[in-house]
Structures are given as C-alpha cells and as structure tokens.
Structure 1
Amino acid sequence: MQKENIAKFLLACLLMFVSFNSQAFSAKEPQEGEDAKVNTEEEIQAYIDHHLQDSYYVNFFSDGETGAHYGFPLPVILWDGGLKVFSSGKFHHGEDIVEVDGQHYRLYHSHIYKTDAEGTITYNEAGFPANERPWDFSITKNVLTMILVSILMLIIFSQLAKTYQKRAFPKKFGRVLEPLVLYVRDEIAKPNIGKNYRKYTGFLLTVFFFIWILNLLGMTPLGVNVTGNIAVTFALALVTFIIVQFSGNKDYWKHIFWMPGVPVPMKIILAPIEVLGMFTKPFALMIRLFANMTAGHVIVMTLVGLIVIFQNWIAGPAFFGFTIFISVIELLVAFLQAYIFTLLSALYIGMAVEEHDHEHPADNEDIPVL
C-alpha cells in the first residue's frame, strides 16, 4: 500500500510538472501578419533558457496573454565602491533601469551591468556585453534554494541524530532516510575509504542528500536548476578536491611525484601526468553532474514545447507520453547522479588515504604464508 501511495504521488508530481509548463508555454495571440508558429517557438526557446538560467526573481507562473508574472523578487546585493542593496523588483524583469547613489544598473540576460541613464549595452568584438559588472553577492533563486535545502537537511538529520542518541528506532520519514544513510556508510564509504571511513562519512552523506534533493527540485515547475549551474557543480567538486589533497598521505604524494617501482626516466614522464590527473578528477565530477542534469531539463522542456507547437490529437498525446517517460527516467537520473558524485568522491578520498604495506608479504601477519 505504501509503495502504491508513493507511485501515485510521483505520478501526480509529473502530471503537475507537465501541466504547469504547458500553461507557461501558452503563446500570446499573434498580431496581424505574424506567424503564430514562429512566435510560439521563440517563446518556448525563451522559456527553456529562463528555466536553465539563474534568476533574481522567484517566478511561479506567468500569464501568456497579459505577460504578468506571479512570484516574488529577491534582494540584490552589490559591491561597487560601496555596498548597494535593493529589491530586484525594481528592475521589473529587465524593463527598467535602477539608479543607486548616482550609478545606473540594468538587468540584462540574467546579469546586472553598469550602464548610463538610458541603459545602453555595448558589445565587444566577440558579441558579448562589454559593460562593467559590479561584484554581485545577491540572493538569487539558486542561492535561496540551496539555503532552504540546507536548513531542511539540518532539521531532518538533527531529528534523526537525536533518535539514534536515544537508541530508538526512527519514526515516520526517518524510516525512509535510514536505509539511504546506511547504504552510503556501508556501500560507499567503507569499501572505498577503508578503516578511516568515519572521518569522511559526514561529508559523503551531506553531498549525497544535498545533490539528490536539488536534483529532485529541478524537476518541479518552479524552474529551479541548481545542479545544472556549472558554478554550483564547480564548488561541489572543489570541496572534494580540497578534502582529497589535505587528506593525502606520504604514499599518495610519492605516487604522484615519484612513482615507486618504475625506472627513473618513466618517473619523470609520469609525474606531470599524475599532477594533471589531480585536476582532471574534480573536473570530471563537475562536468558529469552539470551536463547530465542540464541535458535532462532541456529534453523534458523541449518535449513539452512540442506539444504546444503541433497542437493536434496525435502529436499531443504522443509527446505527452514521451514527456512522462523521460520524467520518470529523470527521477532515476536524479538519484544516480547523486550516487555517482558521492561514490567517486569516496574513491578519490580512499586513494589519498590508502596506506601501502611496504613490507615483504611473508612478514605481514595478515597475509598467510604458503
């Protein structure tokens, strides 16, 4: 019965996701002489870009006919010769120029630029905006989401920890979390890190649940795409990189700069390759998570957009079915990407803290002598 309720809940979420986004894709009535299909395709492309990018405004949904947005603005925090704080609502979704202390700012393609009073944007030879950008410490939609997820995890796992301290069995939602916690500890941390696994299990649990919850939120109609932001995946990979390097023992560093058991000429050749490998590992973590989550969002949003473009009784149900199918796969991918990131992090840490036995096997009591 519990499995049936979970399945019904997930199906309801998927249907809500498709329904909300289909309504968001509803195009305005074309003006006389305009191509309705082209108009719709442009709006769909703009909506997909908006979903993938970060934003200074939390937008629940928009009215395609009136162009009204329903949500709330977030605080803008800039450092430009001094601290400047104001509401992103003053930008009116990029339509207005905001003046603060005699300096004008404009929201353009999800970035804030310094402009003149007219809001002029200049471009360089490569076609990118050449306007100066202030230091931006704003609470964007992605930042707000990460803060809320962090608070949620703190509350949930604090309650779970108190339950374990009382030597009691977890109740309610704790029963769902306990198998996952044990799985990360027993199947990821222990086998890959070894006897020092307890020291790093907290980090592995944090990164697993943090990524997993953010991946699931990325499938909601709220337009949250935190793990599809390469700055976020870079920060996560950077934390793993720092932990690995500071945990590395002498065997780890010796293997990198002066690999034992190989001729000296080969050691000289292999050292730069091993040093490069130190940076390619976190780079792979960053790109894998970013690319997979972004690709999934693009596919789902494109399929929903195709329902609106074709608008017939054959293509509509077909693309709707494809959307549900891909969304179910995305549920698996959301968990799989969190698992892979955690597993590889544990593997890299294990390689750094592994202690090699330099004694002869016959002198080691743990290895039987034949």
Structure 2
Amino acid sequence: MISKRVKCLLVAVFSLIFTHFTAPLIAQENNDEAAKSGANHEKKKEAFDAQEVIFGHVLNAHEFHFLDLPSGPVTIPLPVILYSPERGFTSFMSSKFEHGHATYEGYKLEDGNVVAVDANGNIDETVKVYDLSLTRNVVQMILALIILVWIMLTIAKRYKAGQGVTSAPKGMQNLMEPVITFIRDEVAKPNLGNKYERYFPYLLTVFFFILINNVFGLIPGTANVTGNIAFTIVLGVISFIVIMFSANKHYWAHIFNPPVPGGIKAIMIPVEILGIFTKPFALIIRLFANMLAGHIIIICLISLIFIFANISTGIGWGFSPVSIAFSTFIYLIEVLVAFIQAFIFTNLTAVFIGQAIEETHGNDHHQDHHVEGEKVTTAAYDDAVIA
C-alpha cells in the first residue's frame, strides 16, 4: 500500500516538473522562432569548423598557412600559374585571392581550387582552367630534393677528398654514414645479394627523399607531402617500373607457370598476375595511409579544444591540457613513424626487386652434410638473393 502511494507521488512530481519546464520552452519556440533561426545562423558562422581545418591542413594549397592572428592569417603566398584555352596564360601571387575572399583577373579560389568566374563573380563553366601553379606540395618537394642533393654531394665530396677513408668522418658525414651503412647492410645486401650495388643508389634516394619529406611534414604550417596519394602513386609507379625491368626469365616463368599441380595452375596464374600489381599498390597505400592518419589524429585532438569551447569556454580550457598531452604523445610517435615508413618503403622495394632478380635453382635448398665423430652438421645455402 505504501509503495503504491510512493509511486503515485513520484508520478505527480515528475509530471509537474515536465509541465513546468516544457511549457515555457514550447511557448518560446512558437514566439521566437525567427529570432532563434537567425541566432543559430550566426552561431554556425562563428562556430569552429573542424572539417575545414583538417582538410585545409592535409590537402594541397596555394600558400603556406602558419597561424591566424587578429590582424589576419600569417601565410607565405605562392605563384599561381594558370592556362585557359579561352584566356591564355595568367600568372600572379596567391595573395591576390585574399585567402579565397576575392577574385583576380577573372579567377577565384573555390574549395582550394582555382575556377574561372564571369563579370558578376559567378563560376563560368564555359572556361576551362589548367592549374600549373607551384603549390605548397610542389614547392616542398623541390626544397626536399635540393636538400637531398646538397647533402649527398657534400658527403661525396668529402669522401673524394679522403675524409672518412684515411681519417674519421666528421660533421654531417659522421651523421649520415651510419644510416647509409644500415641501408646497405640491412636492406640492400640481404635482399639483393651480390647485385645490390646496381640498386643501392635508387634505394638510398627513395629512403632519404621520403624521410626528408616526412620530417618536413611535421613542421607546423608545412605540407604533408607523403600524405598525398599523388606523391605515393608516383613513387609506387617508379618502383613498379624498376621491378618490371629487373625481372628475369625465372620470375616470369614463376608467374605464368607456377610450380603447382596442373589443376591449381588455372587459379594460381591469375593470382600471380594480380600480385604483380598489388606489390606497388601496397607501397602506395601503406605510406599514404600512415602519414595521413597521423596528421589527422593530431589535428583532431587539437580541434577538440575549440569544439568543446563552442559548448562552454570552461570546458574548452579544462580539456586543453588533456588535448595537448595526447597531441604531444602522437607527435613524438609521428617522428618515429617518419623514419619507420621511409625504411619500410625502401625495404619492401628491395624485397620486390630481389624476388624479380632471383635466379632459378635445381632444388630450393642444397645441403652438405659433414660428419664429425658422432656430430652431423648441415650447411644450408640460401637463395641467390641472400648474401
């Protein structure tokens, strides 16, 4: 009996609370609907757009953007070079676009892309635009290439002069020699055997070019070049060409006549042919996905501060230490990943080349048995690709 009365009392209390709070809200919605829609529109304009920040960082752009100040964004504008069959060649600095807020010479920035506009500022679909601009990805790759060539030529010049041969290496030579030796002894020789010298320059170039771009991408405001699928596709295609031109008869015989029973050949041949293309595809996706994911995670963690600040300034400030701590942790991991991904791409390239140049054997393993008293030792000879 008492429990029934308690239940009734609770129902009455919750009914009063529900009626007390919802009635004014419904009335306010009916009376101030227009005002609220306008306020919401203003809030949406002022709200932090995480998607714009994330994609603005990882995608290509016509300027290097470092930070925003009350006086305006801090950027380095880059040359815009355009060609249109209808309008001809046009070149100017990206600052003329005023960060996408202005048109210049009949062009404007629309979602990071240059489009042609008419006299009223509307997009002109009849005008075809070919963008030949020096974007931040292009500029950063050129800088990385210049640094790579400068480092290698400087080290080669010192070796030619006898430093590091008749005396101990110094400075940059002392820093780079262990890395070069590591790539030679742990990547080239184990996978390519006595033919490693033919491919060693390519492997070194790939390793240092990826590494330099990875490290550059960790600097705030710079481009994430290795997180661009176009960049990794080019590297993958070059490795694919090297693999194909290095392949010998044994490699192609294994593809089109795999050493399996006849009934299984019909299944294995398409699989082996598909494997020719999945190898460079794995190189492309692995580098692209790992470098892109790390940058997105860091930006998302930082963006959480501003997302929570839109809800409440106190929550934003309260979450800041947590966000910064996790961002710093991921950033340190990204430094390690920059070296690991350069090594993995180089190592897998060497593995695939080694498979293509592997020589045929009468037997997969040759063994010589030596009897020493009661002890039998076996000397196993590995494939030709193993030094």
TM-score, normalised with respect to structure 2: 0.76
Higher relative contact order (CA 8 A, sep 6+): 1
Number of residues of Structure 1 aligned to a counterpart in Structure 2: 321
Residue of structure 1 aligned with 2:59, choices 53, 56, 65: 53
Residue identity over aligned pairs, in percent, reads 43
After TM superposition, give the deviation of residue 139 of structure 1 in Å.
0.8
Distance 1:343 1:360, change over 3 A: closer
The equivalent of 2:26 in structure 1 is none
Taking the aligned partners of 1:198 and 1:282, their CA distance within structure 2 comes to: 22
After TM superposition, give the deviation of residue 332 of structure 1 in Å.
1.0
Counterpart residue type for residue 360 of structure 2: H
The equivalent of 2:160 in structure 1 is 165
After TM superposition, give the deviation of residue 369 of structure 1 in Å.
6.3
After TM superposition, give the deviation of residue 278 of structure 1 in Å.
1.1
The equivalent of 1:332 in structure 2 is 336
Residue of structure 2 aligned with 1:69, choices 73, 76, 89: 73
After TM superposition, give the deviation of residue 131 of structure 1 in Å.
7.5
Q: SS state of the match for residue 324, structure 1?
A: helix
Taking the aligned partners of 1:356 and 1:36, their CA distance within structure 2 comes to: 72
Q: Retained in 1: the 8 A contact 2:62–2:135?
A: yes
- CA-to-partner distance for each residue in 1:204-234, whole Å, 9 max, x for gaps? 1111111111111111112321111111111
Q: SS state of the match for residue 66, structure 2?
A: strand
After TM superposition, give the deviation of residue 72 of structure 1 in Å.
2.7
Taking the aligned partners of 1:368 and 1:361, their CA distance within structure 2 comes to: 10
Q: Find the structure with the greater CA-based Rg.
A: 2
Structure 2: segments with no counterpart, 5+ residues: 1-37, 371-387
Taking the aligned partners of 2:364 and 2:221, their CA distance within structure 1 comes to: 60
Structure 1: segments with no counterpart, 5+ residues: 1-31, 123-129
TM-score, normalised with respect to structure 1: 0.79
Taking the aligned partners of 1:318 and 1:240, their CA distance within structure 2 comes to: 42
The answer to whether residue 197 in structure 2 is matched with residue 198 in structure 1 is: yes
Counterpart residue type for residue 136 of structure 1: D
After TM superposition, give the deviation of residue 34 of structure 1 in Å.
6.0
Counterpart residue type for residue 368 of structure 1: D
Q: Retained in 1: the 8 A contact 2:136–2:222?
A: no
The equivalent of 1:283 in structure 2 is 281
Q: Retained in 1: the 8 A contact 2:80–2:92?
A: yes
Taking the aligned partners of 1:150 and 1:274, their CA distance within structure 2 comes to: 36
Q: Retained in 2: the 8 A contact 1:112–1:133?
A: no
After TM superposition, give the deviation of residue 98 of structure 1 in Å.
3.1
The answer to whether residue 122 in structure 2 is matched with residue 116 in structure 1 is: no
Distance 1:168 1:356, change over 3 A: same
The equivalent of 2:348 in structure 1 is 344
The answer to whether residue 265 in structure 2 is matched with residue 267 in structure 1 is: yes
Taking the aligned partners of 1:55 and 1:360, their CA distance within structure 2 comes to: 53
Taking the aligned partners of 1:132 and 1:285, their CA distance within structure 2 comes to: 38
The answer to whether residue 234 in structure 2 is matched with residue 211 in structure 1 is: no
- CA-to-partner distance for each residue in 1:135-157, whole Å, 9 max, x for gaps? 33221101000001100111111
Residue of structure 1 aligned with 2:301, choices 292, 300, 303: 303
Q: Retained in 2: the 8 A contact 1:37–1:309?
A: no
- CA-to-partner distance for each residue in 1:190-211, whole Å, 9 max, x for gaps? 1011211111111111111111
The answer to whether residue 148 in structure 2 is matched with residue 156 in structure 1 is: no
After TM superposition, give the deviation of residue 359 of structure 1 in Å.
6.8
Higher helix residue share: 2
Distance 1:131 1:152, change over 3 A: farther
Q: Retained in 1: the 8 A contact 2:84–2:127?
A: no
Counterpart residue type for residue 54 of structure 1: N
Any residues of structure 2 matched to 1:97-108 within 5 Å, and which?
Answer: 97-99=103-105, 104-108=106-110
Counterpart residue type for residue 115 of structure 2: Y
The equivalent of 1:80 in structure 2 is 84
Q: Mean Cα displacement is larger for which, 162-171 or 150-159?
A: 162-171
After TM superposition, give the deviation of residue 253 of structure 1 in Å.
1.2
Q: Mean Cα displacement is larger for which, 184-193 or 262-271?
A: 262-271
The equivalent of 2:368 in structure 1 is 368
Counterpart residue type for residue 155 of structure 1: W
Distance 1:148 1:324, change over 3 A: same
Any residues of structure 2 matched to 1:7-26 within 5 Å, and which?
Answer: none
Distance 1:61 1:360, change over 3 A: closer
Counterpart residue type for residue 122 of structure 2: T
